[in-house]
Structure 1
Amino acid sequence: MKNCKNCNTPIKEDSNTCPNCGANVSDTFEPLEEKTELQKLLAEANLARMRGDLNGAIDLCTEALEIEPQNADVHSLLGDIYKAMDNPAEAARWYQMALDINPDSKPDQAKLQEALALASKKKMGEPVTSKGNWMQPIDKIDRAIRYFVLFCAAAVMVLLIIGLTIWVVHSQKEDKTMINNQPAKTGETITKHPQSTQNTSSSPAPPIESPVIGEPEGGTLIRPLVEQTLLSRLATNPNIQQERLVIEDVKFDPRTDKIEVTMRFSDRPTVLTRIVVRKAEAVAATAAYEASSEAKMVTIRTLVSMPGKYASGEPKLVHICDVPRSITSVDISKADDAVLSRIFLNEWWDTEIGL
């Protein structure tokens, strides 16, 4: 180990520059064992300053001044101590005294200028920024306070990160729940009506049946409000219930004010004839006109279960017809097949059933 000749700061053997004053000490150092009493006091004072014991450093410098009052190094070290105590005005006074003793000391000249600038800012109320390390404590209490502040800041950052992570995970779960609970959009099924004529003797090609009757598998058929209302009114109509009819579907076309009703017998009639089918359709058409005052035409599609003839037992479309509003003035219970056949329009029968 060696000491700086200017400020007596301990320096490593392989270093040529003083870490405190910046002097070149390659040729100007003295072994520790050859220190004088003054040099020992300076070294101890500087070490106390570096450790944060500023008051102890001042006491050691005071002892050094008693030995050699005109030592520039002691005055410069006192300037460093008062600067560390955030007293730039007092530090400038000691730097000036050091320059009075050693006017050629460039380190003291630079320190004096810096201290004067800091003192001027402090006097004007401006914030004073020190070039020293913020983590370099002044004393043990200051060190503890600074470490506590750092710990609190780190804890707050950790809590913020944890909170942000929880919020992101919770938001992702909510998004997945909303997606899973969102109902699938179901398009309305378009049913093509058969082209038929009033001439029942001809047998046009059978119509294409709608693949969806009532509610589709795996979900509920989405209907407009007017169709839901019509379906509810028809299903609760006492005449339809008396005839043991089941309303499978109702559609309303606002372009033509036309209602299309798909129905079936809840139980297959003992005797299934055309008059039985027509009377049931007349009851359904009358109920449809009662449910909607705007309807100008009602189309009836009649399904009949044929378990004996078809192995699947699925309802079979047997008849389609248009029923005008004039049906409401007919006594259906007394009407015969001839009367109803004259009222019904655009009839189509499934010839395979043999009605």
Structure 2
Amino acid sequence: MKDCKNCGWDEHDTLVPSSAKTDIERLIAEANLARMRGDLNGAIDLCTEALDIEPHNADVHSLLGDIYKTMDNQTEAARWYQMALDINPNSKSDQAKLQEALAAASKKKRANSNSPTNNWLQPVDKLDRAIRYFVLFCAAAVMVLLIIGLTTWLINSRKENKAPTESPTPKTESVENVQSKTVSAPPVESPIIGEPEGGTLIRPLAEQTLLSKLATNPTIQQEKLVIEDVKIDPRTDGIEITMRFSDKPTALTHIVIRKAAAVAATAAYGASDDAKMVTVRTLVSMPGEYASGEPKLAHICDIPRDIVSVNISGADDAVLSRIFVKEWWNSEIGL
């Protein structure tokens, strides 16, 4: 029996129950989503939970390395990349990440060692040591005296200004006057897309997993699309996607928006075998009166699973319009 020196994994024990694999995939998806949203500590907690289930999962170790790299803790990132390679020595990506993290950590260490701040307390001789300690002692004494003086001044000021005050008798107003002074509450603004009024969005696990898969889909990233929200209707096995362009296209036309919607729908069908219909809502930012405001809803359509057999890049407007169902265009934008 041979164990990994870092994580203690028995290399002969490779059988993991299918239920545990499902839990690990869920935790990895949630950790990726938390990392993308900037919740790095939450992502670390999810990875730790995954390692409790399967300590020898190389993907989790590599993901922890990515998280610590984002936190600019290159030394810790290198440690997790090394553990991932101990489990899967053939991973080219982890090898590259390890070399990059080690180089960054070495460069940071050299920069810190050359900093004048780090060398200030390193005396040249005994006399130099005594002088520097005396300066530190004097600075500390001055700070203590300043704090004592400030505290004494505040106490004396409160004593001088403290005087008995009579609480005024509150006036009793009639019900009519109170009602006449009542100000109507301002209208509540509608919440931002994908976020509830209360603040943090509570999303079902299936929607979290689908959102993570779509956000990391290579084709969606290549087309520079941003998935704002995903909803799943279990009654109809339907998926609703709200998306926008990360960069404004050079020419914003019907065919551009239709192809973007087709890409999103194809990715959704690829991530969900149970989906029967995908509804795509496309937001756009337009010049003129829309330039400084929130993106506007430009297009809604239902796209059946037939779209997966279409060559989207080579499809023209007529082909896509025949497949799309219940299309709606915002006439105010004027595409």
TM-score category (smaller protein)? 0.3 to 0.5
TM-score, length basis structure 2: 0.42
Normalised by the length of structure 1, the TM-score is 0.40
More helix by share: 2
Structure number with larger C-alpha Rg = 1
